[in-house]
């Protein structure tokens, strides 16, 4: 299964790495880190990743994983990426996104009139594309799966793993990752964060 883990300048690394860790170890997965060019790609917080495949070298992947970016406005202007998504997704078995990666899918015209989720801070932006925005951790609509912000990419990966290989395999992957969230603070969503925490987060996101 040719799997395109999409890279582009200023992506959020955990958006990509979370799904990668849940999927890539399976024997059926042939992982490709794809971008508009082969070479280094710098994430939004400075981590450097490496693209090993150019978009034109993988026109028909079986699975697409699109991470988001804190600098999503710049990402939406990446015409090479959006054009590749528009052409590659229709023939893919699965197209997935994490966080603001769903905005890229929407920009490519893939989510119009469909349910999807994204980071809570850009619900209104996604809705402006004619998307039925859901306030859920993971939303599956046929062969499209979208995840909410950043860490939800792990949930998306496990959801997809269960669809691909069965629930027991996904449970084993979860255990191997020791994915047993017990955060020290109960502020992981706008509904539970204090007004002060929410205001500070909104300010940081600009």
What DSSP string runs through 14-63? HHHHHHHHHHTTSTT-EEEEEESSSEEEE-TTS-EEEE-EEGGG-SS-SE
Beta 115-116 vs 94-98: how paired, if at all?
unpaired
The count of residues in the chain is: 206
In angstroms, rounded to a whole number, what is the distance separating the alpha carbons of residues 31 and 26? 10
Active site residues: 99
């Amino acid at each position: 299964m040719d799997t395109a883990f999409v890279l582009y300048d200023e992506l959020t690394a955990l958006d990509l790495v979370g799904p990668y860790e849940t999927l890539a170890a399976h024997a059926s997965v042939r992982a490709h880190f794809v971008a508009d060019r082969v070479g280094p790609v710098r994430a939004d917080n400075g981590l450097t990743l490496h693209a090993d495949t150019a978009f034109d070298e993988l026109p028909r992947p079986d699975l697409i994983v699109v991470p988001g970016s804190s600098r999503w406005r710049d990402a939406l202007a990446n015409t090479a990426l959006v054009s590749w998504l528009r052409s590659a997704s229709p023939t893919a078995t699965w197209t997935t996104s994490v966080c603001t990666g769903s905005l890229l899918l929407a920009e490519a015209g893939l989510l119009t009139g469909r349910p999807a989720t994204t980071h809570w801070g850009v619900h209104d932006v996604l809705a402006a594309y004619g998307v039925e925005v859901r306030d859920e951790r993971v939303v599956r609509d046929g062969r499209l799966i979208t995840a909410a912000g950043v860490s939800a990419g792990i949930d998306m990966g496990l959801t997809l793993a269960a669809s691909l290989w069965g629930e027991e395999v996904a449970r084993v992957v979860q255990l191997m990752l020791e994915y047993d969230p017990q955060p020290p603070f109960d502020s992981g969503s706008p509904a539970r964060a204090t007004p002060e925490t929410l205001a500070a987060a909104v300010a940081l996101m600009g």
